[in-house]
Amino acid sequence: MHVRDLAQFLAELSENNNRAWFAMNKPRYDLLRLEFLELVTELIKGISAFDPAVANCNPKKALFRFHRDMRFAREGGPYKTTFSASITSSGLKRPSQGGGPAYYFHIDANGSLLVAGGEYMPPADRLRAIRFQLEKNEVGLIAALKDRNLKKTFGSLQEEGKLLRPPKGFSPDLPQIELIKLKSFIVWTENSIGGLSGAALKKQLLSNFRHAFPLIAWLRSIK
């Protein structure tokens, strides 16, 4: 993976997000996309060493579309300015599809690498299942979050979109109510890719994903 070339391509695209520029630079895109697919293929193999459940994830399906759906895009051009992928045991990327817990990462036009693990905005039925599990016993989640490597790499759960009040049917007096108020169960970290080689990028991603595994495993245990 030519990391610097990818960052440069995305930076240029962010300034020229139109079909004419993209058509002229499509050979660059095609090569970078192929390299990105190879990286995701290698990541699936590497993750499978500590999480065999993802071994059959299709790398092509793990990649997110690069073309933006202009029916729903309120701003920006026809192309996303990130290369992104989500690796799951189900092979489905999006929580709305029932993808379940995921290993996610993207590289953006600012040269930033975001690495995440968990479930972001799961659908209502899945969110209820997680909350009911927490109501019964939150020990598993707390143990996962106390994992030394997870805590060092990611800190704690992100609280984006957290409810101000307890969800319907849950007592505000529950000791774990602050966890139950969450709408996502995900950790992430963001760093610059400046100076990273392709090999170093792969190594960093695998290390981060391994550290996210305790949370992934706990979420996957909830049926």
- In the DSSP assignment, the letter for residue 79 is B
Instruction: Write down the pLDDT at residue 66.
Output: 93
HSE, side-chain direction, 13 A CA sphere, residue 22? 14
Instruction: Write down the pLDDT at residue 96.
Output: 59
Instruction: Write down the pLDDT at residue 109.
Output: 95
Could you report the per-residue pLDDT of 193-218, keeping only the tens digit for each? 998 999 999 999 999 999 999 999 99
HSE, side-chain direction, 13 A CA sphere, residue 79? 24
Query: Residue 40: which domain range?
Result: 3-220
- In the DSSP assignment, the letter for residue 67 is B
Instruction: Write down the pLDDT at residue 75.
Output: 62
- Maximum CA extent, the chain: 60
Total number of domains constituting the chain: 1
Dihedrals φ, ψ of 179, to 5°?
-70, -40
- In the DSSP assignment, the letter for residue 63 is B
Residues in contact with 1: Cβ distance below 8 Å, sequence separation at least 6, in sequence order: 35, 36, 38, 39, 198, 201, 202
Instruction: Write down the pLDDT at residue 71.
Output: 53
Instruction: Write down the pLDDT at residue 74.
Output: 59
Q: What does each of the 223 residues of the chain score in pLDDT, given as a tens digit?
A: 899 999 999 999 999 999 999 999 999 999 999 999 999 999 999 999 999 999 999 999 999 999 887 555 556 789 999 999 999 998 877 655 667 999 999 999 999 999 999 999 999 999 999 999 999 999 999 999 999 999 999 999 999 889 999 999 999 999 999 999 999 999 999 999 998 999 999 999 999 999 999 999 999 999 8
117 sits in which H/E element? strand 112-119
Determine the length of the chain. 223
